[in-house]
Chain A
Amino acid sequence: MIRAWMIASGSTFEPPTVHEFFPPAALFADSAFRMTRINLIGLFMTLVVIVFFSLAFRKPQFVPRGLQNAGEVALNFVKNNVVTEVLGDKGEPYTAYLTTLFFMVLAFNITGFVPGLQIAGTSVIAIPMLLALVSWVVFNVSGIRHHGLGHYLKENLFPAGVPKPIYLLVTPIEFISTFLLRPVTLTVRLLANMMSGHLLLVLFFSATSYLLFDAAGFLKIFGLASYAMGFAFTLFEVLVAFLQAYIFALLTAVYIDGATSAH
């Protein structure tokens, strides 16, 4: 029925596809440094983070004002809600990594709804995967440093208090969940959130455009509904961008805590 209307209206609606995430090269095409719009957005946001914190902490005052206030609130959020909350006093050496992780993911996420950029830097798998792998290395290295390699593997693969035959079942599960699935879930959780968010926004706004300008008659009303949904999901994406950055940093902290605490 709707298909008939669409065909009748002359132009066809094209829903967004994964091609959204594979834009053409913008710079250095045909080289290893082939740069797309998404890479440019990533570098731009890196610069934004640097400029923001440089201005905030350029001349730190005893009583913070303006940008310094915002910068301190941002840093304290990670320090209190991720580092201290999960790791307590032993969190100090991981503060730099967890802070970098949080602000990089956040900065790359929020471009998903920034007008003119409109795609998250984290919506290509390379970025979540890269960070998940770094997190994997960090929590394993901190665990090995804390327990020694043998003891660390024993803690994780042969948990105490389990009858010996059950290890046949438990050990492979623990191996897969701790050493294989953790980086995979970190990667996929962030990637899927950012991709689906982008697809939803494109879908709603392109549908709005199509319904309002190309569809016939009463279908224009659905254009307004589609616009409202797009607006609502834009707000939702703001939440998701923040939440996913927080979850990524928080889970990394939890993994580090699990690796470095004795059971």
Chain B
Amino acid sequence: MVLSTLVIAAEQQPSILLPAVADLIWGTLSFLILLFFFSKFVLPQARKLAAERAEKIEGGFRRAEASQAEAKELLHQYQLALAEARTEAANIRNAAQAERSQIVAEARDEAVAAATEIAQRAHAQIAAEQAQVVVGLQREVGKLAVELAGKIVGEVLSDDARARATVDRFIADLEQVAAEAGR
């Protein structure tokens, strides 16, 4: 009786450690469907998405780097241009200064030359006038002396060679006296 109960129990209780064929079939079906679904649809989508994200983020980095480099390049160019402009300005300033000095010097030379010329001309004129005055005075003094002598002597001494020689000698004496006095 005990044995028959056990047999019945064994018949009624299928082993929990023996897989049923139908369970294996349906389980395999589920497994294959899911494996196909994940490997052909879900994971490729996820992988594509991850790649896209990485691309976008890295692309952003690359773009930022590129614009930074561009900015640096621009700054460099600007600095170069600035330095060039500064050098040019300095050159222009130097040239202008040099030119100014030259102009000033030239003007000074010109002024000095003009002044010298004017002074020389004035001297010459003065000398000429002096000579003229001296000659005039000599003639006048001579005439006066002759007239005076004529009046004293009572004879006309003009147009006489002798008289002229006398006058000349007299004047020469006068000159000599003047020179000795001036000395």
Contact = CB atoms under 8 A, between A and B. Distances in A.
Interface string B37-66: 111011101101100110010000000000
24 contacts: A18-B16, A19-B12, A28-B22, A34-B20, A39-B22, A39-B23, A39-B26, A46-B30, A54-B41, A57-B42, A57-B46, A60-B46, A72-B49, A75-B46, A99-B42, A100-B38, A100-B39, A126-B19, A127-B23, A129-B24, A130-B28, A130-B31, A191-B16, A195-B16
B35 interface: yes
A119 to B, nearest CB: 13
Which residue among B12, B14, B38, B41 has the maximum number of chain A CB atoms within 10 Å of its CB? B38
Interface string B56-91: 100000000000000000000000000000000000
A18 to B, nearest CB: 5
A3 to B, nearest CB: 21
Interface of A: 17-19, 21-22, 28, 32-36, 38-39, 42-43, 45-46, 49-50, 53-54, 57, 60, 62, 71-72, 75, 95-97, 99-100, 103-104, 124-127, 129-131, 134, 191, 195
Contacts of A22: 13-14
Nearest to A92: B47
Given A60-B49, A125-B17, A130 B27 contact: yes
Contacts of B53: 62
A49 to B, nearest CB: 6
A22 B21 CA distance: 13
Contacts, number: 110
A125 B24 CA distance: 9
A35 B43 contact: no
B178 interface: no
Interface of B: 12-14, 16-31, 33-35, 37-39, 41-43, 45-46, 48-49, 52-53, 56
A66 to B, nearest CB: 15
A119 B183 CA distance: 157
B34 A127 contact: no
B33 A32 contact: no
B42 to A, nearest CB: 5
Given A18-B13, A57-B46, A134-B31, A32 B38 contact: no
A26 to B, nearest CB: 11
Contact of B13 (A19, A39, A46, A104): A19
Contact of A46 (B14, B23, B33, B46): B33
Given A28-B22, A60-B46, A124-B23, 7 more contacts: A21-B16, A35-B22, A43-B30, A53-B42, A62-B52, A100-B34, A130-B27
Nearest to B42: A53
Contacts of A43: 26, 29-30
B23 A96 contact: no
A195 B128 CA distance: 151
Contact of B16 (A57, A95, A100, A125): A125
- 10 A-B pairs with the lowest CB-CB distances in the bound complex, closest first: A126-B23, A96-B39, A126-B19, A46-B30, A39-B26, A57-B45, A34-B22, A100-B35, A127-B27, A126-B24
A45 B29 CA distance: 12
Given A35-B26, A72-B46, A96-B39, A131 B19 contact: no
Contacts of B23: 36, 38-39, 124-127
A57 B23 CA distance: 30
A44 B16 CA distance: 23
Which residue among B21, B29, B49 has the maximum number of chain A CB atoms within 10 Å of its CB? B49
A32 B25 contact: yes
A97 B27 contact: no
A252 to B, nearest CB: 13
A96 B16 contact: no
Contacts of B26: 33, 35, 39, 42-43
Contacts of A127: 23, 27
Contacts of A126: 19-20, 23-24, 27
